[in-house]
Structure 1
Amino acid sequence: MNITGSTVVLDVVNPSASSRFFTIHLGYREVLAGEDFVALARDDRAPDVLLRQRDLELPPGRRSAGALVSFAVTGIVAEDERLRGENANITVPLHREPWGAWQLELTGPDGFVVQLVEWTPPAGV
């Protein structure tokens, strides 16, 4: 596995207001926005930030116990196989999101969630 980037995911009350804070005060820019989230990035090596609506209803196993660290990786299928072989606590199995990301989530013994994501463009893009 080669980690190519990282994202800090924050559950917030108001993603738009939090986005303004990051863009005005910390030099981030919006790269993607939806009804219940805003994705931010910078041009340096700072981690990306995903602001997610706090009361967003997620399927079981998709809500973090406090913090979620997301790593952009290469070779996610091989990593999924390796982690399964190690009996890692995979709480969200490998799947493809509609926007083209392959991802899985692991949960540590203290409830901390680590998400591995590999971007592939969706069909037709």
Structure 2
Amino acid sequence: MAADGFASLHHDESTVNVIYLRRGISQLPEGFRDERTSGAILAFTVDNIAEVEARFRKSSVNITMPLREEEWGEKLFQVTDPNGIIIQCVEWATH
């Protein structure tokens, strides 16, 4: 779900709902409206990470860390939202 300055992410198989609000939006408490996040990473486990990254690229999402595979087999890529939150998509090694 999305509206001006608001996006909500939810997956039918989860009870987690992640909400993003644009800085300065009046729904945030007054003392927090202009804050920036630092050092936060939200990691989402996905299947077929290459397909997910391709969908992000097709949607013109700025990939701030391209898809890579770590030596232990984990595959991941990252994007950064306008508030500085790093969003990492990861596919765990199955071997």
TM-score (norm 2): 0.57
What is the Cα deviation at residue 99 of structure 1? 1.0
Which runs of 5 or more residues in structure 1 are unaligned?
A: 4-44, 46-63
Are positions 1:65 and 2:30 aligned together? no
SS across alignment from 1:71: strand
Answer yes or no: is the 8 Å Cα contact 1:89–1:108 preserved in 2.
Answer: no
The yes-or-no answer on 1:79 pairing with 2:52 is yes
Report % sequence identity.
Answer: 36
- 2:80 matched to 1:107? yes
Residue 84 of structure 2 aligns with an amino acid whose one-letter code is: G
Q: Secondary structure at the match of 1:81?
A: helix
Q: Which residue of 2 aligns with 1:51?
A: none
Of 87, 100, 116, the residue aligned with 2:89 is 116
**Deviation at 1:117?**
0.4
Shift of 1:65: 3.0
Letter in 2 for 1:111: G
* Amino acid in the other structure paired with 1:105: Q
Aligned mates of 1:107, 1:70 — CA distance in 2:
12
Amino acid at match of 2:93: T
The alignment yields a C-alpha RMSD, in angstroms, of 2.1
Unaligned runs of 5+ in 2: 1-10, 16-36
Give the one of 92, 97, 117 matched to 2:65. Answer: 92
Matches of 1:65 and 1:91, distance apart in 2:
15
* Distance of 1:88 and 1:65 partners within structure 2: 20
Instruction: Tell me which stretches of 4 or more aligned residues in structure 1 moved more than 2 Å.
Output: none
Corresponding pairs, count = 61
- TM-score, L = length of structure 1: 0.44
Using the alignment, how far apart are the partners of 1:97 and 1:65 within structure 2? 24
